[in-house]
A = this chain, B = another copy of it.
Amino acid sequence: MNETTKPDAVAQMRDWWRTEIIEMKPGVIRFRGYAIEDLIGQVTFPQMIWLMLRGELPAPAQAKLLDAALMSGVDHGPQAPSIAIARMAATCGVGLNNAMASAVNVLGDVHGGAGEQAVLLYDDVQSRIDAGADARAATEAGLADFVAQHGKIIPGFGHRFHPVDPRSPRLLALVDAAAAAGVVSGKYARIAREIESVLLAQKGKGIPMNIDGATAVIYAELGFPAPLARGLFCLSRSVGILAHAWEQTQQGGRNKGPIPRQYVPTYDGPAPRPVPSQ
| Least CB distance, A273 to chain B, in whole angstroms | 4
A60 neighbours in B (Cβ, 8 Å): 278
Contact present for A19 and B71 (CB under 8 Å): no
CB nearest neighbor in B for A20: B269
**Contact A55/B265 with A85-B89, A231-B242 known, Cβ cut-off 8 Å:** no
Contact present for A19 and B167 (CB under 8 Å): no
| Least CB distance, A47 to chain B, in whole angstroms | 8
| Least CB distance, A114 to chain B, in whole angstroms | 10
A109 neighbours in B (Cβ, 8 Å): 92-95
Contact present for B110 and A29 (CB under 8 Å): no
Provide the bound-state CA to CA distance between A228 and B250, in Å: 12
CB nearest neighbor in B for A57: B276
A222 within 8 A of B: no
Contact present for B80 and A107 (CB under 8 Å): no
A36 neighbours in B (Cβ, 8 Å): 72, 166-167, 170
| Least CB distance, A178 to chain B, in whole angstroms | 11
**Contact A6/B17 with A36-B72, A275-B34, A275-B39 known, Cβ cut-off 8 Å:** no
Contact present for A77 and B22 (CB under 8 Å): yes
CB nearest neighbor in B for A49: B239
For window 71-124 of chain A, which residues contact chain B by CB distance below 8 Å?
Answer: 71-72, 74-82, 84-85, 87-89, 91-113
| Least CB distance, A147 to chain B, in whole angstroms | 16
For window 149-176 of chain A, which residues contact chain B by CB distance below 8 Å?
Answer: 160-164, 166-167, 169-171, 173-174
A53 within 8 A of B: yes
Contact present for B91 and A88 (CB under 8 Å): no
Contact present for B231 and A96 (CB under 8 Å): yes
A-B contacts, 19 of them at CB < 8 A, read A13-B260, A17-B84, A17-B266, A20-B269, A27-B166, A33-B270, A35-B166, A44-B67, A53-B243, A53-B246, A55-B270, A85-B89, A85-B102, A93-B108, A93-B110, A93-B111, A94-B98, A161-B261, A228-B246
